[in-house]
Structure 1
């Protein structure tokens, strides 16, 4: 639902302005909007709550320039026409796109001919206004109204099934968006009539007849109304004027008596489109699960934890392997005095013990002199005997 606009109803709330009336606040719905930041830019999807215009999810880039969107209630999906992607403008005409309520977008390919209705040379790449009636996406391009089959079960899926010329050109040429009213089957929108006032019009999608409902003096006529959303619960028509005196303006029109309420204002916009007025708001990206009421269940039996692994040294019940003790280290105590040396020749001195090895060098010298003395005595005795025998 747009022509050459750029932001969405979100802008009205952030800028401050008029407060919605109690009647408006009583009817709450969610509208889907696509917007671009400039001519030829790619679109971002927004889900906003009316009448406040506040987003209920963060903006989501789509990677395509999308316009002429409408909400298919039977499918729970949004359909529209994409004119370009990141590579540039499509060469085979406009592509039908499908957007689910979580923002996932699917490029279904170009509009094709499946029956008697030919596809225009543009391939509907220049379409602006859009809405869904049943399983048909109605879009306006220049002075004609086209219907595309969006029923996936139909053999004419994505094909043109209807085309009609709009009869009142000066009104229809400025009709940049419309919304389907199930009460009478007509498409309602605001025609920009130059520097005058906006004109409420309705279009018969069957024969293309355009009817002027009323010139609304409370609506400025110097800018296009790029987004139009209808709330069928109270016949409230929400319309967005893109740029009036460098300001975008959101209005609510009560169909029937055609009373006007200016709801809010915001910065001027350049490209935007909207669809749907869903009473069931889709869940936000992050939600808190509701509390669950259940019958209390007795707690399970407490099982004591297993004992921790033993880290103590083995007890006598598990004897350790027997390892021969190492020889005792030399004592650092003061060694006892050496035993007296007995000059006995016949006995060989006992093998010294580790303690005897630590005796003083004096004891060893005494033993050496004792041995020398004994040898000398032996040799001396032998010499004396030889002398006596020589004298005999």
Structure 2
């Protein structure tokens, strides 16, 4: 099929290369001409394992191209995917301005029957919202269908999810659009759930809100474990063996971040408020996460009272391993709190980006883990990069002002820290004095 994907961000780029790999002709539209040039030269604009090779393959086969010309791309396409950003507004509602702009542009270009697909995470009622704009702009009803097709991609595992995911959700109204979407996705051999648009739209929000709640729940359990001397890993193991619960998303730490969970929990709360359905559980999950992500700062203040001019090393800046994404990363909130209190910050992340260097130019960025910890008072592990499991505790003992580690991702061994008389604080597994 001839496919147009509008937006070369995380969702748009992964969607584009996946459809191109499956034998479709894909045009990906991106307004940033620098990104367009980079992608046409087979250089990904995001980090995702395996993406570079797949992009090269698709470019060489000429099954994908990138452009900033939206009108021409829509005219050539059978299906147009909208994969633009839908960030949170200050009040938690979803910002639909980019979607609105897309639809106005698409309206000028539809010259035959075209399926418009909402791939962006959009609130309930967005399919009707898009239809209304198209009709208002004079597009005949028989020239289009609007479909809701939310994405379920984990950053760092996105290519696996797109090719081997557990479900594809398609919300549509006409049999014609259902048949075409079924034909498009059939080669992926993943179960397809066909439903109405409203159901498809709410599935994405409820999935992420439920997983966020699960994370916040185990983090509250972890905080209790530290106070009573229990081991949260064993608690989580026992919980996970219960088939009704499963072990997924029961890993304690300093909270969730990224582009989805924070935004979608607030989005669901906002949708619930609009329809007089308060999501009290989800509100609590958000509140717990807001507190959890700055727990390392609370521990520091309990230890030192005043951290002005103390050098604190942050290991990890991205919201999780396997990505260069810093959106809503707990490390950002920790940085803000440390800077407020006059601390000096060293930082190391194997995928450190220019973006965070522009936001925080006064932080000391290092090219190695060991270099970042030299002479620091405390090390805070913020991201679960595999490399951090290899932190040399003897090196820590000999090369820091105070051998003090706050392990926000439970990467290290409490017993090994005890052997070396290192002050070590884990999330829910105990701490050394």
Common fold by TM > 0.5: no
Select the structure that is richer in helix: 2
TM-score, L = length of structure 2: 0.21
Tell me which of the two structures has the higher relative contact order, counting C-alpha pairs closer than 8 angstroms and 6 or more residues apart: 1
**What's the TM-score, normalizing by structure 1?**
0.23
Which of the pair has more CA radius of gyration? 1
